[in-house]
Amino acid sequence: MSNPSLLILAGDGIGPEVMAQVQRIIGWYGDKRGLNFDVSEDLVGGAAYDAHGTPLHDDTMAKAQAVDAVLLGAVGGPKYDDLDFSVKPERGLLRLRKEMDLFANLRPAQCFDALSEFSSLKTELVSGLDIMIVRELTSGVYFGEPRGIFEEGNQRVGINTQRYTEAEIERGARAAFELAMKRDKRLCSMEKANVMESGILWREVVTEVSKDYPEVALSHMYADNGAMQLVRAPKQFDVIYTDNLFGDILSDCAAMLTGSLGMLPSASLGAPMENGRPKALYEPVHGSAPDITGQCKANPSACILSFAMALRYSFDQGAEADRLEAAVEKVLADGVRTADLMQANDGTPVSTTEMGDAILAAL
């Protein structure tokens, strides 16, 4: 049997720096654990625009469709701020999500014991925090038509369309219920059913799906209250299921609660391919961080933990994923800190490479 295949799209800003450390981890798994991957690399985002005038070349799209999993670094940067909407770095990422049909975006918001004092929240409110947000990723206002800026009378109108079919809501809900079954069996669905009809349909469909998961306790919350409750008492949640736009905001809010954005991975999963593996893209929650690009300061942990999610969700290597996650936790417990994990007067931070060294050593 041939090796599983990985496409690395390191992208912009700190993307290539953190991805270099992931490459070392991948190498380690080949050398030490006999887990070999066929790794190819390509461009996405601003880097692709610079080379090809598009944030995602059709050839790259085809490669992404063909591999077992895509690992993405980050896209965007001030250099590309004035580009036309259609060729902005973000469009490359959105095209990958849409054409690979990655409908379930898994965003764990987890507070690492060694880092709980980094949260802006009081330590007792976040220590041990472990939420899984499942965000619908291929529909809603991100992709609905009509969209655009139109002339109307003597002025312009900006239009976007929130649009959800029952099938779209349902498949994401199933992914969320499946995760809840493996966790604490509690699912909170968030929308604005008091204001939006798409939210009413959302609530109905999720309620319907819940009949297939009688062990999971389902609750519903308006998204504005969801934002409040995340800030007030985040530990009340286990799995949260919400739409593309609410998910964008609420998952960032939840990520920041942990105080360790440089630590948080994500997985975007689609339907099973012929080989049974889901279509999948893994990426850190943090962005391209133009302010520290090229300084070898970035924390590679989020990107490395995204590879751990790949081991778990794409390659059925849960034990190896646990091993990698434990190595990262050990490094934190040992007090190894990149600059993002330090308070003002905390001593000298380690570099991106040194963090990679430490994680490899812990493995």
DSSP assigned state of 338: B
Cα–Cα nearest to 65, from 106, 103, 105, 99 = 99
> CA 285, CA 261: separation in Å to the nearest integer?
7
Size, binding site for a second copy by CB under 8 A: 60
Nearest to 297 by CA among 11, 18, 9: 18
In the numeric block, which tokens belong to residue 297? 């300061």
Cβ proximity to ligand IPM, 89 vs 278, nearer residue: 89
Return the number of the residue (291 or 334) whose C-beta is nearest a second copy: 291
CA dihedral (246, 248, 251, 254) in degrees, to 10, reads -80
Q: Does 333 bind a second copy (CB under 8 A)?
A: no
Residue 131 pairs with which residues in a beta bridge?
Answer: 109
- Is residue 198 close enough to count as binding a second copy by CB under 8 A? yes
Residue 280 binding target from a second copy, ligand IPM, none, CB below 5 to 8 Å by type: none
52 binds, among a second copy, ligand IPM, none (CB under 5 to 8 A by kind): none
Q: Is 344 in the site for a second copy (CB under 8 A)?
A: no
Does 145 sit near a second copy (CB under 8 A)?
A: no
Q: What 3-state DSSP class applies to 318? A: helix
Q: Which of 51, 62, 66, 159 binds a second copy (CB under 8 A)?
A: 159
Give the range of 250-258, 276-284, 300-308, 310-318 binding a second copy by CB under 8 A: 250-258
Report yes or no: 18 and 287 within 8 Å, Cβ to Cβ: no
The least CB distance from residue 147 to a second copy, in Å, is 6
Catalytic residue, candidates 29, 49, 142, 282: 142
Which listed residue (42, 248, 279, 313) is catalytic? 248
Cα–Cα distance for residue pair 176/97, rounded to 1 Å: 18
DSSP secondary structure code for residue 12 in this structure: S
Q: Which of 62, 195, 271, 326 binds a second copy (CB under 8 A)?
A: 195
Distance CA 280, CA 274 (A): 13
Q: Is 29 a catalytic site residue?
A: no
Q: Residue 35: what residue type?
A: L
d(CA 261, CA 275): 34
Binding site for ligand IPM (CB under 6 A): 90, 93-94, 194-195, 224, 248
Reference 336, options 349, 323, 353; nearest CA is 349
Catalytic member of 101, 130, 252, 357: 252
Which parts of this chain interact with a second copy (CB under 8 A)?
A: 76, 85, 88, 90, 94, 120-122, 125, 141-142, 144, 147-149, 152, 155-167, 169, 192, 194-202, 223-225, 227-228, 230-233, 245-246, 248-250, 252-253, 255-257, 261
